[in-house]
Amino acid sequence: MKSSRLPSPPGLGIDVQTTAPGNVEAEVLAVPVLAPSDELPQAAAGIDRDLGGRLQRLAAPGELSGDRGSTLLLHLNGELGSERVATAGLGPREGVDADAVRTAAAAVARDATRFGGTVAWAIDETLPLAPAEQARAVVEGVLLGAYNPGRWRSANGARREIERLLLVGEDLEDAARRAATVSEWVNCARDLANAPPNVLTPEELARRAEELSGDLEHLEVEALGPEQLEELRMGAFAAVARGSHNPARLIVMRYTPPGAADGGPRLGLVGKAITFDSGGISIKPASKMQDMKGDMAGGAAVVAGMGAIAALGLPLRAIAVVAACENLVGGDSYRPGDILTAANGKTIEITNTDAEGRLVLADALWYARREGATHLLDLATLTGAMELALGDLYAGLFANDDAWRADVLAAAERSGDHAWPFPLHARYRRYVDSTYADLKNSSELRQGSPVLAAEFLHEFAGDGPWAHIDMAGPGFLERSRGDYLSQPGGTGYGVRLIVELAQGLAGGTAR
């Protein structure tokens, strides 16, 4: 028997064992099953034999369901090394993908928070997903599924934390270790998005970016304040920030690993971090306004994504630019009718102060280019209409370059942070033509809001490949998505995508 301990994320150890699943010692041993459940896949069939056909007897009448995300927990009497067996439904065989495994693993993890301890998972080589991909999806499912957004509660009931995840199979160490690192950064982004806006101010976000990069090599963080924004003539970003007493921060993170070639690509990540979006003078309705604490989810993904890139030591240079401020109502708020001058010199007529994301991004995109980013990606909870169009699963993707769009799309699909392409077209520009200035920040027509917002950003993206992800839907959930993201609030959308994209740009192959 081979057993190896991996460097563990805080609170959860991850081990890999090559042994018969029946022998592993755990509070619960999970075995994947399919729908319909009457034909058990290999690993479950092996456990069924150890248990004298108990699983099969439950499967026939349908008590044991193979539906995706359904579990059945059996207490044992010493028949196996583990105290319990959990069947984990993946749904029909032809639909088994990484999301199915994540969802099944998350369901087991949620069951396991009733008793804690060790969760073991039997990798099944007969499933239509490579064992290393299964391992990665199980780690992600458990770590993301067991996430607790209730950390501001004074008591968390009968919840018991899972201490250890044991993957039963061969050659899974690399995939498991990587997935654990990335998942921890995803949960870090969720913590940032869920943090209340009275705590997570722009200054506090900058402080946390500095704090989390403290232990990471080759990662430097700098935070620019209002005076520096003025020197840089960031008139668009500065105007949005003016309504709040909490000063703005332009958070700049530079990752410069020694191995990366000087002339090589430099990934530029730009994030919208409105720590609270009231809409400003064009104020939002009260209902659900509390969820606008999540309007910094794009910026959180960029901060945590840089953390993940540095923690994995990916061999490429990257720069992150996160525009953090609050969109409030105050005596110095910017108004509809104001004309602002952005850092690139373009003048913008304000027609709606609630279209603030594109203003802060305009100056942040310009800055990322100025600092040498060759390939830009911005992430933003930009338009409510994007959520109306795609719901909570897919983000919208816009790009000025076919190859870069294809790269981002491939990274999205490989990572589980789903994205779908939308058009950019010069003829959408007329929606933001202004009578008085170079352009205006919103259109009176209730049409094409995500597309014209993207066309607006296009004006500030400079030369070279740029992509924009509008993650208003999947970035922050009003309610459980019913899959491995079973909690409302921040999802960490974008962190996994960023890691895949960076890996691809660094010249690495997919995991």
Report how far residue 395's alpha carbon sits from residue 271's, in angstroms, rounded to the nearest whole number.
15
Report how far residue 145's alpha carbon sits from residue 249's, in angstroms, rounded to the nearest whole number.
32
Place of tokens 């410069």: 256
Which of 131, 226, 384, 421 touches ligand BES by CB under 6 A? 384
Long-range CB contacts (< 8 A, 24+ apart) of 4-8?
Answer: 4/173, 6/173, 6/176, 6/177, 6/180, 7/177, 8/180
By CB under 5 A, the residues from 266 to 285 that bind Mn ion are 277
Report how far residue 486's alpha carbon sits from residue 507's, in angstroms, rounded to the nearest whole number.
34
Which of 204, 354, 459, 483 touches Mn ion by CB under 5 A? 354
> Which one, 133 or 356, has the nearer CB to ligand BES?
356
Minimum CB separation from Zn ion for residue 444, in Å? 19
DSSP state, residue 283: P
Minimum CB separation from ligand BES for residue 253, in Å? 23
Q: Does 387 bind ligand BES (CB under 6 A)?
A: yes
Residue 383, contacted partner among Mn ion, Zn ion, ligand BES, none, CB below 5-8 A by kind? ligand BES
Which of 344, 383, 487, 491 touches ligand BES by CB under 6 A? 383
Q: Does 295 bind ligand BES (CB under 6 A)?
A: yes
Nearest 5°: phi and psi at 58? Answer: -80, -25
Minimum CB separation from ligand BES for residue 186, in Å? 19
Pair 135, 175: CB distance under 8 Å: yes
Instruction: Using the rule CB under 6 A, give the single segment among 203-211, 298-306, 383-391, 490-498 that binds ligand BES.
Output: 383-391
Residue 449, contacted partner among ligand BES, Zn ion, Mn ion, none, CB below 5-8 A by kind? ligand BES
Residue 326, contacted partner among Mn ion, ligand BES, Zn ion, none, CB below 5-8 A by kind? none
Using the Cα atoms of residue 504, residue 252, residue 376 and residue 246 in order, give the sign of their dihedral. positive
Instruction: Using the rule CB under 6 A, give the single segment among 43-51, 350-358, 405-413, 496-504 that binds ligand BES.
Output: 350-358
User: And the tokens for 253?
Assistant: 């993170």
Pair 24, 120: CB distance under 8 Å: yes
Instruction: Using the rule CB under 6 A, give the single segment among 113-121, 246-254, 330-338, 349-357 that binds ligand BES.
Output: 349-357
DSSP state, residue 342: -
By CB under 6 A, the residues from 248 to 277 that bind ligand BES are 277
User: And the tokens for 383?
Assistant: 């338009």
Q: Does 387 bind Mn ion (CB under 5 A)?
A: no
Minimum CB separation from ligand BES for residue 353, in Å? 8
Residues that bind Zn ion (CB under 5 A): 274, 277, 295, 357
Please identify which of the residues 358, 369, 405, 440 carries the catalytic annotation: 358
Residues 6+ apart with CB under 8 A from 68: 35, 89, 90, 91, 95, 100, 103, 104
Please identify which of the residues 207, 233, 284, 481 carries the catalytic annotation: 284
Minimum CB separation from ligand BES for residue 393, in Å? 14
Report how far residue 266's alpha carbon sits from residue 500's, in angstroms, rounded to the nearest whole number.
15
Assign 403 to helix, strand or coil: helix
Pair 354, 441: CB distance under 8 Å: no
Minimum CB separation from ligand BES for residue 323, in Å? 12
User: And the tokens for 381?
Assistant: 């909870």
Provide the pairing of β-strand 13-18 with 2-5.
antiparallel
The count of residues interacting with ligand BES (CB under 6 A) is 16
> Is 358 labeled as catalytic in the residue annotation?
yes
How many Cβ atoms sit within 10 Å of the Cβ of residue 153?
9
Residue 352, contacted partner among Mn ion, Zn ion, ligand BES, none, CB below 5-8 A by kind? ligand BES
Residues marked active site are found at 284, 358
What are the residues binding ligand BES (CB under 6 A)? 277, 295, 352, 354-357, 381-385, 387, 442, 449, 472
- Residues of this chain that interact with Mn ion (CB under 5 A) are 277, 354, 356
